[in-house]
Every structure is written in structure tokens, then in C-alpha cells.
Chain A
Amino acid sequence: MREHKLRSIAAIISMNAFLPMRRQPLFLINTLASPFSFLFFLAVVGRPGALIYGVAGGLVLTVLSVGSSLQSDLTHYKADLKYQEMAVASPVKASTYVTGMALSEFVFAIPGMAVFAVLSVIYGHYIFLGGLVIFATLILLWVFASALGFTLATYLADVRETFMISPLISIFLSVVPPVYYPLESLARISPYLVWLAYAAPTTWAAQLVQGALGIIPLSLFQGLEDAGVLLAAAAILFFIAATKAKWRET
């Protein structure tokens, strides 16, 4: 039997997303929990106008969570269920498996993104083609997060290790970077933090989303620069995932 990429991907999405969502609808709420917690805090204690930062951050964080979910699921399937070993010993290729898994995590994120998209329409001031900018940004961020999750998962031996790594990655990718607040707020604390934030691809993604929602000014040059950095980060992580991630144990 030769590989049928689309059929395989559809099967993995059904197994890993649609079936668990149907059997356990709480999974849907799970992806909304973190982004809404931040939004809630900003609504309660934030200054006027902070809410839209929470909406922009919610879009970014919801897509970013795909990466940590992917990392946990892949590690669980590899270490506990041994399903990855069954997939390795089959016509399914590593790229097909990870694409199916990444898309299934994306399916989980769709309800959250839909809610934040509606909120962004209510509270945001979309610039011309802003919706397209956000869509492209979130796709690039999904590629980045998925490649990161896959690469890390191949090196982890137990799902408990993901509990250790995920919060650290979360700090670097969603707390320090100005995902939920303007970059200037970070500069007020320390210029070094700004440089640290620039090292996180989510900073560039957040600037694009915030710009598209009319929260911060976004020039064409700035937009292209943000998109270029995000694209490069996604490409590098994708390259690392394709070359360094271990489908077969060495």
C-alpha cells in the first residue's frame, strides 16, 4: 500500500480532533481558557483601551497554543500509546503524520479563533486588508508553533517533560513579548527586555495583528519587516523540524 497523503491527513484529523471533540466537548473550552483569562484580567484591571490588546493577544495565543498541544499529544502518542511507532511502521510519512496532527490541533483552535475574531470586529478598527494580514499572520504562526511542537516532542521521552517545558516556552513566547500590551510598556521596564522580546517571533506576529486591528500604527515597511521576520522564523523552525526531528530512534 502506497501513501495517500490526503486520506491519511483526514484520518489523523478525525482521530485526533473531531472524535474527541464529539465525545468530550470540554476540549473546546480548554483552548479558550488561557486567552480568555488574560482578556478577563485586562477587562477588569486594565486601563481603558486595554481590552483590544487582549483580543489581539487572544488571537495570537490561541494559535500559539496549537504548538504546546501538539507537543503534548505527540509525546503522549509516542511514549504512552506507542501510536507513533505504529505510524512509523506504515506507509505514512513523518511529514504527513505531523501535518495531520498539526491540522487537528488547529481544528481545536478554531472555536477560540472564531470568538476572538468576532470580538476583534466589535472592538477593533480594521485597516484596509487588515483581515487578510491577520489571517496570513496566524497561518505563519501556526507553522512556527507546529514545527516547534513537533521538534520538541521528538526529543521528549515522557509526557511529564512537556509539563516542564511548555510553561517555559509560554513565558518566552507569550508573556515577555508584547502580545497583550504595547511594546512601549516593556521598554519602560528595561530596554533589554525589548531586545529579548524581539527574539520571540510572537512579538512580530503581535505587532502585525495589533497593526491590522488599528491599535498601533503599521506602515507598509513595518508590516513587511514583521512579516519577513515571522516568515523566516517559521521557515527556520520548519527546516529544523524537517531535518533534526527524530521520526526514527537513533
Chain B
Amino acid sequence: MPQALLARGLCRRYSWSGGHQDALRGVDLEVPTGTVLGLIGRNGAGKTTFLRIASTSLLPTAGSMQVLGHDVVTDAVNVRERIAVIPQESRPFYWMNPRELVYYYLTMRGETHRVAREKAAEALAELGLTRWENTVVSRLSGGLRRRAMVAMVMASDAELLFLDEPTTGLDPIARRSVWEAIRKAAKANRTIFLTTHYLDEADALSDRLALLESGKLLASGTRDDLAALARRPYRVEVSDGFPEEELRSYGDLSRVGERWMLFTGEKEARELSRRALEKGIRLSLGPVSLEDIFLQMVGQDISVEGEE
């Protein structure tokens, strides 16, 4: 499968008088055409820096990146004709309504007026914004504004869409409508590059995942590939009944409210289930979630801020 994005040894250093910060440290990553890639990591892990280099807003300090077969440094013009981006924390013009936002974004990109009108109506309907299409942005809620931004890039003819935290601040229902739009775009063989720190979102949408931490790529692949990399692929939750020392002997143990949570291997999980049956203790057992994998790889909660 051809690669929509191919990064090799990508580095980015931010320098200022008296110091510097390496936001990316030799990242290698591939994104096959027509897939949804979810780039996950804590705040400050380097996700936005990576996305900004890929969307030609920022130059790398070392390494190379090709987007849709063109080098992002030397051949940015050809990249730009085929991509679209929603930057993190971007906001729409407050004096325009959603219909105008999408329409003028499309005509600015070069669409004819007729096509822009049609595509705007279609994208607004898809994101559940038809009811508000003539309401100026200043009267819309934060969630509706964010959806209008998503509608802008979804309506474009870009083959590769970069979405930087597209659902931040949205309620669960609005998030689902954005997810549906992303899924529909993916079905139309568009490539989606999504950064998010909502792991459920990355899990629900992505064909492939990449985990970035402190500017380094810790892992990339399908959900199963990442699960296989987890040191302890099973998660056990159990109430009191087992001595703490015994539970600790099965794997990584932590206390979550009134329950014990344990990451463990397959053999240990079987043994623990057998012991629970013998003792008549109830436990829940299942494969690790994406969040569990993240915790095991990074060693901290995703909500803990990384160094910026």
C-alpha cells in the first residue's frame, strides 16, 4: 500500500537565547494511504509539532518527511494542493456563519462558487449543522464552532486531512457526529491524520496508532500490534478477598477506589481466575484497553502534562 506520509529520523528543536527543547527526536513513521492514523501522547509529547511539519507550517531541523510522495521541505507547493488542516485551538471568524465559513474556505482553496455551495451544504448536514447554518459564529456554542471548523476541512477535496485535537471541548453527542464525519471521509479513501489525547477516540477511529512520548515514537501499528507490545496484556479488577501480597505476585498492582487493578500475563490471569473460583471471589478479566497500554508504555497517566 502506498504511503500517504513517510517520516524518517524527523527532528525538531526549538531554540531560544540560553536554551533549547527537542520536541521531536528522530521520529520514523508511515501512514498508509486511505487509513486513519491516531497519533496519541500526552500534552507536550510532540504531536502538534509533528502535525505542523507534515502540514508544511513548520520546518524540521533534521530528518525528512514525504507527504503524498512530495518532500514537505523542498516541494511544499505540491503537498499543499492536496492537504487540509484544522490546527489545535483554531477558532472560526466570529462575524461569519457556518455556511459562509465553509463556502469561503472552499472558494479560497479554488473551488467554483456552485461546487462550494453544494459541498458546504453537504458538510454542514453531515455534521448536524444545517439548523445553525445561518447563525453567526458569535451566537454559537463552543461545540458548534468546533464542528463548523471540522466541516470546513471535511468539505474540501483534500486527500489527506490533518486534524489536531478536533473534538476538544465537544460534548459526547457532538463528538460522535465528528467521529461519523471522520469515518465517512475514511470510507471515501481519504487519509486522516488525527492527533488526540482522548484514547477512546483514537481507539474508536484509528486503523493505526502511533504513540509519541517526549518527542520519541514509542510504538506504532494496529491496535493489536500495540496490545502485543504491552508487557502485561490482561487487566484484572478484583474487590477485596485476596491478600495484597498475593495479588502483587501476579503482576503490576494498583488501587483504584474500592478495587484492585492488576495488569498481568495470560498464564497469571488463568491462575488468578482459578484461585478466584476456588475462593468464591468475583473478578473481572479482559484484554488491556488502549489507555492501559499507554500507561504501561509511558508509565504515567495521559492527563499528566509532558514537558513543553
Residues of chain A whose beta carbon lies under 8 Å from any beta carbon of chain B: 1-4, 7-8, 10-12, 14-15, 19-20, 23-24, 80-83, 85-93, 100, 248-250
Let me know if A7 and B107 touch, CB within 8 A: yes
Let me know if A3 and B100 touch, CB within 8 A: no
A3 with B91: in contact, given A85-B57, A88-B80, A91-B81 (CB under 8 Å)?
A: no
In the complex, the chain B residue whose C-beta lies closest to that of A85 is B87
Q: Which of A12, A82, A86, A249 has the most CB of B within 10 A?
A: A86
Segment with Cβ contacts to A, from B108-116, B182-190, B215-223: B108-116
A80 with B85: in contact, given A1-B110, A2-B110, A11-B104 (CB under 8 Å)?
A: no
Let me know if A89 and B80 touch, CB within 8 A: yes
A82 with B91: in contact, given A87-B108, A248-B76 (CB under 8 Å)?
A: yes
A135 to B57, CA, bound (A): 38
Let me know if A86 and B86 touch, CB within 8 A: yes
Q: Which of B52, B95, B100, B112 has the most CB of A within 10 A?
A: B95
Let me know if A8 and B84 touch, CB within 8 A: no
Q: Give the chain A neighbours of B77 by CB distance below 8 A.
A: 93
Let me know if B110 and A82 touch, CB within 8 A: no
Let me know if B59 and A19 touch, CB within 8 A: no
Q: Can you sample 11 A-B contacts with CB below 8 Å?
A: A1-B157, A7-B110, A7-B112, A8-B110, A14-B104, A19-B96, A23-B95, A81-B90, A81-B91, A249-B52, A250-B59
Let me know if A90 and B58 touch, CB within 8 A: no
In the complex, the chain A residue whose C-beta lies closest to that of B86 is A86
Whether B44 sits at the interface, judged by CB under 8 Å, is no
A89 with B55: in contact, given A19-B100, A81-B92, A82-B91 (CB under 8 Å)?
A: yes
In the complex, the chain A residue whose C-beta lies closest to that of B91 is A81
Besides the known contacts A85-B55, A88-B55, A88-B57, 12 further A-B residue pairs in the complex with CB atoms under 8 A apart: A1-B156, A8-B107, A19-B95, A81-B93, A82-B88, A85-B57, A85-B87, A86-B105, A86-B153, A92-B108, A93-B77, A249-B58
Q: How large is the interface on B (under 10, 10 to 19, 20 to 34, 35 or more residues)?
A: 35 or more
Whether B3 sits at the interface, judged by CB under 8 Å, is no
Q: Give the chain B neighbours of A90 by CB distance below 8 A.
A: 80, 83-84, 108-109, 156
- Name B57's contact: one of A80, A93, A248 (CB within 8 Å): A248
Q: Give the chain A neighbours of B105 by CB distance below 8 A.
A: 11, 86
Let me know if B92 and A86 touch, CB within 8 A: no
Residues of chain B whose beta carbon lies under 8 Å from any beta carbon of chain A: 52, 55-59, 76-77, 80-93, 95-96, 100, 104-105, 107-112, 136, 152-153, 156-158, 162
Q: Give the chain A neighbours of B109 by CB distance below 8 A.
A: 1, 8, 90-92
In the complex, the chain A residue whose C-beta lies closest to that of B108 is A11
A82 to B162, CA, bound (A): 14
Q: Give the chain A neighbours of B152 by CB distance below 8 A.
A: 86
Let me know if B84 and A86 touch, CB within 8 A: yes
Q: Which of A8, A10, A88, A91 has the most CB of B within 10 A?
A: A91
Q: Give the chain B neighbours of A83 by CB distance below 8 A.
A: 90, 93
In the complex, the chain B residue whose C-beta lies closest to that of A14 is B104
Let me know if B91 and A80 touch, CB within 8 A: yes
In the complex, the chain A residue whose C-beta lies closest to that of B59 is A250
- Name A86's contact: one of B90, B100, B111 (CB within 8 Å): B90
Let me know if A91 and B100 touch, CB within 8 A: no
Q: Give the chain A neighbours of B57 by CB distance below 8 A.
A: 85, 88-89, 248-249
Let me know if B81 and A1 touch, CB within 8 A: yes
In the complex, the chain B residue whose C-beta lies closest to that of A27 is B95
